[in-house]
Structure 1
């Protein structure tokens, strides 16, 4: 009998040690040395941007920087907050699945992390920048000053630097923090943001684009991917891993995913316990799902998205045309010190606006239209339209106009996405002749308007409706005559 008690005691100790220190054959996300860090539009900028100083362009000096950036890492919106708050009871159910029902596959360490988890945001913090988002703007400004010192060495002058943000608090705060750390003080003139800004948030003023968002046909490829074996298998595997005997809904899976990626964006050095719900392959599936959504919401999937990127392209081209004319008329003054054009133009906006701009410029365009059938582990890493890379928090496009008095045929332009050189088509390792770039973008800039946004607008002459108007007036006249 004593031998049996010894065996029971040893078994109990083994189980206890297994629970405490994780059985060797059970995977623990918390111990993952190379976790997957690419979470579509909620990816942290920290994992994406180019950490090397930008190389100088020999024989040239920057004369103007035209800069568009998405706001820094933010707290959830009101619509996102409720599903995240509902993760508290789900977490408790996951614990019961493992501890009481002996279901689930989370290791002891991941379960302990999940037990300690708390949602540290509330409605009063809705959509505001987090401390990480503030840091992104601060450090981005300092790196810009370091990379282009000649543009900023004379300090801030209101007529030399243009700032503009949308009406949202997160873009306003992003602009203020960026400006303060670009110049070392907060005495910067930043106009109040406009609602439905037709330049830096053109889609908000576009009724036809808004209508498109409600059409299921416009997002059929997204729906087909949601119903694909990739996603259905993911739902089943995640449900099993969390200890459920039934499949969770895709909405619930996405809430878990949102919390995972928010946690990681808010604290880049910490481990999100909710990320333990997914394998690396499953995170790649979810990343593709969100890439598809933004492809059809703000990218190449619909022509209207591309057209909505033209106002900012027009603004950039017009500013560079004016600058080029000034430099030519003034003998291409070194560093553009005698130019009347601004040295810096800074726009603070949102992910969709930036994606539309990239699409209008032809950046991150794959050789074919993305569909539900195009996902694979290879395509997940190799496609160009990857929102983790092109539209993370604090994503930005800097276009720099270089004055090149000697050694080159006229001014040059470089584009930097996430502080990495854009290998733009037709340019030499990213360095574009302004003459050739202007020729390429002229048709976009010179034919840009938002008339297509109005319901019922037609390219036909408006006088074509005048016969109807005339008939109506005649009928009204006859009716009034009969009444008299």
Structure 2
């Protein structure tokens, strides 16, 4: 980890101290990690998903909140540090240093920030649109499981106790129902500690590059000009390392916690009772833990700080963008119940299944321990023991 951090810092300090910013033909937006815009990743084909002699009957979906504002600390950094740095860069170019194009200099000149730190992590307009359009597409794909008319017996909506998750859930309902029904939606009570939904700064310019690019469909943040492809890939890898060890495959105890979400889904699918459509709204760490629990995007070797693995499967820019989501759809088929999995609205084949449409029985057998031996208190005890050591 320290090797990568040192390399990244050296690249950035060298480029700015010398007044030179690379202009290689690349797109930094490919390496924004968990701040990647959802519009770069989702499946745009929203036609109904059908299988012979099968009908979609239930859906269980968990989504990361939509595009948000930065933390208060980063907003303050935007309003102070980056403003000062902007003028230093412009002054350097007036002195004949640097390699920014005329258009890039103009964009940097126009850039400013006066965000209110009190609105930290609030959902943006783009985040609202992401949720509305996501809901509309899911309804088109699975009209039997996702009914157009709201009924609090057949729909369950729940979110973590944060403004961004709450607003994501509310805008999602606007996409599913007409405005009158959306206003009447009942949300499950929230708690500060939610074992199903919430299990839980290398560089300010990199973060704001991602945030501002995600907020606007038509403009890339001028702070992205600070990175060439090599430095952007190192920043991305640095953050992927963090999420690999904190939310992914680094420690099995980390992703074992996601058994509660898996258990919740399978209990719903195995019963004739309960809601037909369950929509949960949470955070980056939640989605990554569930992906790891499902054995998805597992790298061929552990991610380490001394080697940058470019062809790794675990790349948050691709698997954990803003509004990233994971859905399971229960199909009642002539040959028995089957489950279809979608990640970011794209149909995927689970590693333990032979086909995309997987027998429910196969999954119940594979995830037996997740369903019947999911002891959260025991996991907390193991975690405390490791800390004590």
Per the shorter chain, which TM-score range? 0.7 to 0.9
CA pair 94-436 structure 1, distance change in 2 beyond 3 A: same
SS, match of residue 323 in structure 2 = coil
Whether the 8 Å contact between 2:60 and 2:327 is mirrored in structure 1 is: yes
**Match of residue 142 from structure 1:** 136
**Match of residue 336 from structure 2:** 410
Name the CA distance, whole Å, in 1 between partners of 2:175 and 2:185: 11
The root-mean-square deviation of aligned C-alpha atoms, in Å, is 2.1
Whether the 8 Å contact between 2:126 and 2:215 is mirrored in structure 1 is: yes
Name the CA distance, whole Å, in 1 between partners of 2:156 and 2:211: 32
Aligned with 1:74 (options 54, 62, 68): 68
Q: Return the index of the structure with the highest Cα Rg.
A: 1
**Match of residue 224 from structure 1:** none
Name the CA distance, whole Å, in 1 between partners of 2:324 and 2:153: 26
The reply on whether 1:303 has 2:252 as its aligned counterpart is yes
Whether the 8 Å contact between 1:317 and 1:442 is mirrored in structure 2 is: no
SS, match of residue 336 in structure 2 = coil
Q: What is the Cα deviation at residue 80 of structure 1?
A: 2.1
Aligned with 2:298 (options 342, 365, 390): 365
Name the CA distance, whole Å, in 2 between partners of 1:296 and 1:369: 9
Name the CA distance, whole Å, in 1 between partners of 2:314 and 2:68: 23
Q: What is the Cα deviation at residue 455 of structure 1?
A: 7.6
Within a 5 Å distance, the mapping from 1:118-133 to structure 2 comes to 118-133=112-127
**Match of residue 156 from structure 2:** 162
**Match of residue 264 from structure 1:** 213
CA pair 64-291 structure 1, distance change in 2 beyond 3 A: same
Deviations 1:219-245 (A, max 9, x none): xxxxxxxxxxxxxxxxxxxxxxxxxxx
Whether the 8 Å contact between 1:27 and 1:107 is mirrored in structure 2 is: no
Q: What is the Cα deviation at residue 141 of structure 1?
A: 0.5
Deviations 1:129-183 (A, max 9, x none): 1000000001001001111112234611111111110110100000011012212
SS, match of residue 113 in structure 2 = coil
Deviations 1:28-47 (A, max 9, x none): 58xx6855433100000000
Within a 5 Å distance, the mapping from 1:421-432 to structure 2 comes to 421-432=347-358
Whether the 8 Å contact between 2:70 and 2:120 is mirrored in structure 1 is: yes
Name the CA distance, whole Å, in 2 between partners of 1:162 and 1:428: 31
The reply on whether 1:96 has 2:91 as its aligned counterpart is yes
**Match of residue 10 from structure 2:** none
**Match of residue 317 from structure 1:** 266
TM-score by length of 1: 0.70
**Match of residue 282 from structure 2:** 349
Q: What is the Cα deviation at residue 341 of structure 1?
A: 2.8
* Structure 2 segments unaligned to the other structure (5+ residues): 1-20
The list of structure 1 runs, each at least 4 consecutive aligned residues, that deviate by more than 6 angstroms after superposition, is 455-458
The reply on whether 1:110 has 2:39 as its aligned counterpart is no
Name the CA distance, whole Å, in 2 between partners of 1:291 and 1:420: 22
Q: What is the Cα deviation at residue 307 of structure 1?
A: 1.6
SS, match of residue 339 in structure 2 = strand
The reply on whether 1:196 has 2:125 as its aligned counterpart is no
Name the CA distance, whole Å, in 1 between partners of 2:381 and 2:26: 52
Aligned with 1:286 (options 220, 235, 252): 235
Q: What is the Cα deviation at residue 393 of structure 1?
A: 0.3
Q: What is the Cα deviation at residue 294 of structure 1?
A: 0.7
CA pair 265-373 structure 1, distance change in 2 beyond 3 A: same
SS, match of residue 61 in structure 2 = strand
The reply on whether 1:433 has 2:359 as its aligned counterpart is yes
The total of aligned residue pairs comes to 359
Whether the 8 Å contact between 2:135 and 2:173 is mirrored in structure 1 is: yes
TM-score by length of 2: 0.87
Whether the 8 Å contact between 1:320 and 1:401 is mirrored in structure 2 is: yes
**Match of residue 9 from structure 2:** none
The structure where helix makes up a greater share of residues is 1
Aligned with 1:51 (options 44, 48, 51): 44
Deviations 1:304-340 (A, max 9, x none): 2112211101111211222xxx3xxxxxxxxxxxxx3
Name the CA distance, whole Å, in 2 between partners of 1:36 and 1:165: 29
Deviations 1:13-71 (A, max 9, x none): xxxxxxxxxxxxx9758xx6855433100000000111123531221111110000000
> After alignment, is 412-421 or 281-290 more displaced?
281-290
Q: What is the Cα deviation at residue 120 of structure 1?
A: 4.9
Name the CA distance, whole Å, in 1 between partners of 2:300 and 2:370: 21
Whether the 8 Å contact between 1:317 and 1:441 is mirrored in structure 2 is: no
**Match of residue 389 from structure 1:** 318
The reply on whether 1:400 has 2:326 as its aligned counterpart is no
**Match of residue 229 from structure 1:** none
* Structure 1 segments unaligned to the other structure (5+ residues): 1-25, 204-249, 327-339, 459-484
Name the CA distance, whole Å, in 1 between partners of 2:284 and 2:168: 14
CA pair 297-79 structure 1, distance change in 2 beyond 3 A: farther
